[in-house]
């Protein structure tokens, strides 16, 4: 378990850097849209918001696979994974994220589905702005909660 816990901590740190990058890119694209009103910037915002959530989900899938020993299956597996990360597993780990964080991430999870199933010209600028703000709000909370989880893993060696 020592090596696994070390890997998890490293993975969390790397993914937080990736999330920062996606966040910065979404903000930069939003500024580009505000400056030019060119809706091509909305595509970039959507792609980076999607990437932001995908990065979180990949980390959660890794935790579910290697720490929880179980990944949700089925049509609503993405939602179930988010719920799983907000639950304490008494014999294995504390909750990875809080309910507050889960609720904030849920809107990003839903948007991930939208990006995969609509044409880019249907993106709503108001929704893009709201989601860029949402990422700015959730990232510090996520960073704090994942750091706590990483510390738990380090102490569990």
**Which burial class, exposed, middle or buried, applies to 111 when counting CB atoms under 10 A from its CB (0-12, 13-18, 19+)?**
buried
- Quote the pLDDT of residue 127: 93
Which single residue is written with the structure tokens 């990949």? 58
Alpha-carbon distance values, 85 to 70, 96, 126, 152 (Å): 11, 5, 29, 14
Please state the φ and ψ torsions of residue 89, each to the nearest 5 degrees. Answer: -110, 95
Closest by CA to 53, choosing from 12, 109, 110, is: 109
pLDDT in tens, the chain (157 residues): 577 777 888 889 999 999 999 999 999 999 999 999 999 999 999 999 999 999 999 999 999 998 998 999 998 999 999 999 999 999 889 999 999 999 999 999 999 888 887 766 678 999 999 999 999 999 999 999 999 999 998 888 6
pLDDT value of residue 10: 87
Can you tell me the distance from the alpha carbon of 125 to that of 101, in angstroms, rounded to the nearest whole number? 24
pLDDT for res 128: 94
Helix axes 40-66, 99-117, angle to 10 degrees: 130
Report if pTM > 0.75. yes
Q: How far apart are alpha carbons 129 and 26 in whole angstroms?
A: 10
CATH code of the domain containing 87: 1.20.120
The token duo for 95 is: 């909750």
At residue 33, the pLDDT reads 97
The residue range of the domain holding 100 is: 2-155
Q: How far is CA 153 from CA 5, 91, 116, in A?
A: 5, 13, 34
Total number of domains in the chain: 1
């Amino acid at each position: 378990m020592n090596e696994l816990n070390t890997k998890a901590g490293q993975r969390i740190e790397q993914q937080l850097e990736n999330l920062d990058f996606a966040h910065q890119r979404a903000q930069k694209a939003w500024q580009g849209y505000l400056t030019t009103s060119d809706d091509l910037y909305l595509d970039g915002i959507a792609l980076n918001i999607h990437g932001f959530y995908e990065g979180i989900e990949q980390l959660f899938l890794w935790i579910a696979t290697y720490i929880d020993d179980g990944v949700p299956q089925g049509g609503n597996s993405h939602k179930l994974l988010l719920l799983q990360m907000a639950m304490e597993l008494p014999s294995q780990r504390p909750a990875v994220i809080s309910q507050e964080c889960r609720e904030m991430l849920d809107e990003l999870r839903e948007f991930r589905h939208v990006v995969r199933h609509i044409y880019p010209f249907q993106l709503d600028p108001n929704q893009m702005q709201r989601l860029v703000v949402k990422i700015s709000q959730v990232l510090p909370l996520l960073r704090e909660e994942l750091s706590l989880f990483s510390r738990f893993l380090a102490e569990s060696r």
